[in-house]
Amino acid sequence: MQTQENTVDRTGLVTAFAAYIAWGLMPIYFKLIDTVNPWEIIAHRIIWSVPVLLVFLLVRDGRALLPKLRITRRQLGWLCVSSFLIAANWLIFVWAVVNDKVLYTSLGYFINPLMNVLFGYLFLGERLTTYGKWAVAIAAFGTAYLAWYLGNPPWVSLALAISFASYGLVKKRLGIGPMTGLLWESLLLLGPALAWMGWRASHGEMDFLSGSTRMDLLLMAGGLLTVLPLIWFNTAAQRLTLTLVGFIQYLAPSMTFLMAVFWWDETFTPGHAVAFTCIWSALALVSLGPLRRRLRPQPID
């Protein structure tokens, strides 16, 4: 007789919730430093991520780290593209938060899984199920309705969803571990980040080391706040099914949605209500297929 193990790995569950709660609370961090130029915030996020990543990877891999860092020219080219995409995604997110558009970041990250489904179909030859087709159509209708209601498309939401889905698409082609890839991306962005900081310092515009120790420490914490949730996420991804991780991922944009509407009093119009209802319905449809397969009784031999 064959038995099936139905228990959920506790460490995986804890790290998954830790990662998505951290991402859900991230707007609070950026609100604390919203007086700093968004470009400088991203520069600090890049600069301080490098030592955090190096320490983590050296502890995890030891001497095996150097062989893992060897890449081909093709991989280097794709890493240049992925580093640009993740930097653009970070910048759009930070700009949106400091300009009181947190609600649009929530919508963007709700759209992102559906954009992944569409990109998988368009670029990777993945099969689009009936549920998937309806989900993409419903999400497109909701987004179009919001654009019509507001008089212009929700560019912040679309830019976040497209840039992050494109980033994921490029990462699938790399064949490099996620943390090793992030280190390479940070190293590729380190030069421009340092140059930008040097330019701001030479013009007397740099916020870092300008007199506020609290602000300096908050900016330096950007590296840890960038890397730590990724470590938790990768631990969870190794221990849990993708179906379960996929459901937990909606926690982060749900948190930002609630904070935007009920804490920061951002405007929530009937157009937003229609758009979010469509997106949530589409996500339910996309999740229905994997959930049904997950719950389907297994034959006992």
pLDDT digits (tens, 9 = 90+) for 3-12: 444 567 889 8
pLDDT digits (tens, 9 = 90+) for 220-248: 999 999 999 999 998 888 888 777 787 88
Q: How confident is the model at residue 176 (pLDDT cuts 50, 70, 90)?
A: confident
pLDDT digits (tens, 9 = 90+) for 64-101: 999 989 999 999 999 999 999 999 999 999 999 999 99
pLDDT at position 289, please?
62
pLDDT digits (tens, 9 = 90+) for 272-297: 999 999 999 998 888 776 555 555 55
CB 251 within 8 A of CB 16: no
pLDDT at position 53, please?
95
Contacts of 20 (CB under 8 A, 6+ apart): 229, 233, 248, 249, 251, 252
Choose among 142, 87, 146: nearest CA to 114: 142
pLDDT digits (tens, 9 = 90+) for 9-61: 889 899 999 999 999 999 999 999 999 999 999 999 999 999 999 999 999 99
pLDDT at position 2, please?
40
| Burial class of residue 4 in the structure, from the number of CB atoms within 10 Å of its CB (0-12 exposed, 13-18 middle, 19+ buried) | exposed
Q: Which two tokens stand for residue 266?
A: 């951002």
pLDDT at position 293, please?
57
Distance CA 237, CA 253 (A): 19
DSSP labels, 49-116:
HHHHHHHHHHHHHGGGHHHHH---HHHHHHHHHHHHHHHHHHHHHHHHHHTT-HHHHHHHHHHHHHHH
Query: What's the mean pLDDT in 108-116?
Result: 91
Residue 79: CB atoms within 10 Å: 20
pLDDT at position 109, please?
93
- Whether the per-residue pLDDT at 1 is higher than 70: the answer is no
